[in-house]
Homo-oligomer: A and B are copies of this chain.
Amino acid sequence: MHNLKKVESISAVNNFVIKFANVNGSGSASANQMFAKAMFRMGIPVSPKNIFPSNIQGLPTWFEVRVNEDGYLGSRGGVDIAVAMNPQSYSKDVEEISPGGFLLYDSTWKRNFNRDDITIIEIPFTQLCVESFKNPKQRALFKNIAYVGALSALLEIEYKVLETLISEQFEKKPSLIEPNLKALNLGRDYVLENLSFPIGITVSRSDKLENKILISGNEAAGLGAVYGGATFCSWYPITPSTSLAEGFEKYAKKYRVEKETGKNLFASVQAEDELAAIGMAIGANWNGARAFTATSGPGISLMSEFLGLAYFAEIPLVLFNVQRGGPSTGMPTRTQQSDVLACAYASHGDTKHVLIFPSDPKECFDFAAKAFDLADQLQTPVFVVSDLDMGMNDWVCDKFEWDDKYLFNKGKVLSKDDLDEMENYGRYLDVDNDGICYRTYPGTHPEKGAFFTRGTSHDEFANYTENGDINAATLTRLMKKFRTASELVPEPIIEINGKDSCGVIFYGSTSPAIHEAKDLLKEKEINVDLMQIRSFPFNLDVWEFIANHDRIYVVEQNRDSQMRTLIMAEGGISPEILRPLVHFTGDPIQASFIVSKISEREVNYKSHINAKKR
């Protein structure tokens, strides 16, 4: 802290963005996570985001943490503190720091950064570690813990919290606790002994996180699948969905093993590709197990043919699509919401699929479990559509809840007894006039209820037919089923904030940015009404909200305004009402972006209206 400053240093409590710049594969992840978790443990809302390359080792990678007492946890933009541990990316990292901000770097190799408007904090981490550790691996690794230690002094992070985190982390390898603490203190003590502290940015214990947890959407969804009764998972590795299948496996291995025998009450198969992954899930669902697959963009494309089969043969299926940057292989480690149309209309021919859109890990958990009920009830594929930002980053969200009285809804499945009482079973008879027919599982009844499932046109008894009218009737019934679906899927969350407000439609991981934007807009005297869409098909509430607004911004993280297209196509909504507001760089959308776009257009709108009045 020995620079002359032209600009005043930023001063803030529990409100800043810190960005760790590391080398991929250098073991920084757990130190960075410890920092984020420490904020959480101190009761301060925090949102860590991993900005990583599609690479395993050696390239720049960043961990950006926003700390915000008010609970605004979308990406904010700007960097108040940079912890620059990667000389490769120094120039970019240092440039990003806001005037008045702070730079912490490994001064074992001193540098001149040509910024006199920031505070540069020099700590010779490598040198410290070389002096303190013998093992070369540890020397490299513990630099990371050391900077967390340094930050604990600079920002006044409670030491106890970090200590506990370390002992929890190494509960099963207690021999590692001591060296980690040593590394922590190495950085901490260096600050305490050599630098002035705290800096202008500090943290202070808060109480904003009661009943909150910190978890990634993928892990939450994996756990939700366990709770929802999924017994079979088939998947193929692909970023950013891999950790969802792994999450399922992790919890299943823990809570789904028969105590007496050590045998598994589930199966998880890494398939040879996405076509096989969905095929297996379809086969298992057909046979009456709750089964799912998880994938990302390219997987959706490859699964298209099978999705049409499941739609037309009416086989339940749960599919998690954790979206990444498209098109094609695109940006595998960046976030987008650009598979909405690909999912909604997946497959050739007239097809429409049920989509549900969680907006945080809590909803990932809830919707994952719910998806299995929906799929069984509707006998059709149900997509849980999330994205990389919410899927792979830890988010603060409400604690998970489970009602032990709740019974799975397996939908219309006939038992042996049911069949015994029936005269005339037809797999595709619309007995209840809701478009949903009665299934039987293979092996149910020695004489009754068997049928032949097929993707070719079929009559009400599942027999092959080339009769056009019968086939048209089937297709029409499927539309009816889709209407039934609109009554079962999660309704939107609507927030009305005033008269004559403009509407804002959003979904998924855009949620935190929107809620912050709403408050910021209010400060500018722009009131917005919010509707968080949580499903397709849209239910009545959606249409009502739209009908009640003369202008609605549809905020999406894709280029082509895909949700807007869906709304227009399905609802016959006038396009002038629905105004696209899109962001598609692959970085999470920010409140400031939304605010600038909406306020600009609202100002135009109002001057236009006023001009009219005059």
Among A348, A585, A586, residue most surrounded by chain B Cβ atoms (within 10 Å): A348
A348 near B352 (CB under 8 angstroms)? no
Cβ–Cβ contact B304 & A327, under 8 A: no
Contact A331 B456 (CB under 8 A): yes
> Are B468 and A587 in contact, with the CB atoms below 8 A?
yes
Can you list 21 A-B pairs, Cβ within 8 angstroms, ordered by A? A298-B348, A301-B304, A308-B326, A308-B327, A308-B328, A309-B328, A312-B330, A326-B348, A327-B348, A331-B456, A331-B466, A331-B471, A336-B349, A338-B348, A341-B345, A342-B349, A350-B558, A350-B559, A469-B585, A569-B569, A572-B576
CB < 8 Å: which of B456, B479, B568, B569 contacts A559?
B479
Q: Is A57 an interface residue (CB 8 A)?
A: no
Q: How far is the CA of A103 from the CA of B471 in the complex (A)?
A: 29
Across the interface, name the chain B residue whose C-beta is closest to A584: B472
| 7 nearest A-B residue pairs (beta carbon) | A326-B349, A468-B585, A327-B349, A328-B455, A572-B575, A297-B348, A301-B304
Chain B residue numbers with a CB within 8 Å of A302 are 302, 304-305
Number of interface residues of A (CB under 8 A): 67
Cβ-closest chain B residue relative to A332 = B456
Please give, as numbers and ranges, the residues of chain B lying within 8 Å of A298 by CB-CB distance: 305, 308, 348
Q: Is A376 an interface residue (CB 8 A)?
A: no
With A54-B456, A301-B308, A572-B575 given, is the CB distance from A466 to B349 under 8 Å? Answer: no
Residues of B contacting A517 with CB < 8 Å?
none
Does B345 contact A345, Cβ atoms closer than 8 Å?
yes
Chain B CB within 10 Å, residue with most, of A326, A329, A350, A587: A350
Given A308-B326, A313-B328, list of 16 further CB < 8 A pairs? A54-B456, A298-B305, A301-B348, A309-B328, A309-B329, A311-B327, A311-B328, A326-B350, A327-B348, A329-B454, A330-B455, A334-B471, A341-B345, A342-B345, A345-B345, A574-B574
For the complex, give the distance between the alpha carbons of A326 and B558 in Å. Answer: 29
Q: Mark A456-469, 1 if CB is under 8 A from B, else 0.
A: 11000000001011
CB distance from A517 to the nearest CB of B (A): 19
Asked if A350 and B332 sit within 8 Å, CB to CB, the answer is: no
The answer, yes or no, to whether A565 is at the interface (CB within 8 Å) is: yes
Residue of B nearest to A562 (CB): B350
Q: Pick from B326, B468, B575: contact of A586, CB below 8 A.
A: B468
Which residues on B sit within 8 Å (CB–CB) of A454?
A: 329
List which A321-366 residues lie within 8 A (CB) of chain B: 325-334, 336, 338-339, 341-342, 345-352
Interface assignment of A573: CB less than 8 Å from any CB of chain B = yes
Which residues does chain B contribute within 8 Å of A596, judged by CB atoms? none
Cross-chain contact A327 with B312 (CB below 8 angstroms):
yes
Known: A574-B574, A575-B574. A350 touches B328 (CB 8 A): no
Say yes or no: B329 contacts A339, CB within 8 Å: no
- CB–CB B584/A466 < 8 A: no
Bound complex: CA of A359 vs CA of B576, how far in Å? 33
- The yes or no answer to A398 lying at the interface (CB within 8 A) is no
CA–CA, A326 to B350, complex, Å? 6
Q: Which of B331, B565, B571 contacts A457 (CB 8 A)?
A: B331
A53 CB-CB contact with B under 8 Å: yes
Q: Is A145 an interface residue (CB 8 A)?
A: no
Closest to A587 in B: B468
Decide yes or no whether A300 CB sits under 8 A from chain B. Answer: yes
Distance A352 CA – B327 CA, assembled complex (angstroms): 10
A568 touches B560 (CB 8 A): no
A336 smallest CB distance to B (angstroms) = 7
> Whole-angstrom distance between the alpha carbons of A301 and B351 in the complex?
12
Copies of this chain assembled into the complex: 2
Chain B nearest Cβ from A79, distance in angstroms: 16
Asked if A457 meets B325 with Cβ closer than 8 Å, knowing A575-B568, A585-B469, the reply is yes
A607 within 8 A of B: no
- Cα A345 to Cα B569 in complex, Å, equals 14
Q: Which residues of B contact A325 (CB under 8 A)?
A: 349, 457, 471
In the bound assembly, the distance between CA atoms of A464 and B281 in angstroms comes to 35
A196 part of interface (Cβ distance < 8 Å): no
Q: Inside 8 A of A312's CB, which chain B residues have their CB?
A: 326-328, 330
Chain B's nearest CB lies how many Å from the CB of A272?
14
Assess whether A456 is in contact with B569, with CB atoms less than 8 Å apart.
no
Least CB distance from A483 to B in Å reads 14
Q: Does A476 contact B (CB under 8 A)?
A: yes
Nearest CB of B to A9, in Å: 29
Do B350 and A560 touch across chains, with their CB atoms under 8 A apart? Answer: yes
Chain B neighbourhood of A327, CB < 8 A: 308, 311-312, 347-351, 455
Chain B residues with CB under 8 A of A350:
326-327, 338, 558-560, 562, 584
* Residue A475 at the chain B interface, CB threshold 8 Å: yes
Nearest Cβ distance between residue A582 and chain B, in whole angstroms? 9
Query: Which residue of chain B has its CB nearest to the CB of A578?
Result: B572
> Which A499-537 residues have C-beta < 8 A from chain B?
none
The interface residues of chain B lying within 8 Å CB-to-CB of A346 are 301
Q: Which residues of chain A (71-111) have a CB below 8 Å from chain B?
A: none
User: CB-CB < 8 A to A301: which residues of B?
Assistant: 304-305, 307-308, 346-348
Bound CA–CA A93/B339 (angstroms): 48
- Is A300 a contact partner of B348 (Cβ separation < 8 A)? yes
Q: Which residues of chain B come closer than 8 Å to A338, judged between CB atoms?
A: 348-350
Which single residue of chain B is at the shortest CB-CB distance from A454? B329
Q: What is the CB-to-nearest-CB distance from A104 to chain B, in angstroms, rounded to a whole number?
A: 24
Contact with B along A170-191 (1 / 0, CB 8 A): 0000000000000000000000
Q: Which residue of B lies closest to A573 (CB)?
A: B575
- Shortest distance between the CB of A309 and any CB in chain B (Å): 5
Question: Closest residue to A580 on the B side, CB-wise?
Answer: B572
Nearest to A464 among chain B residues (CB) is B54
A313-B328, A327-B308 known; A466 vs B334 contact (CB < 8 Å): yes
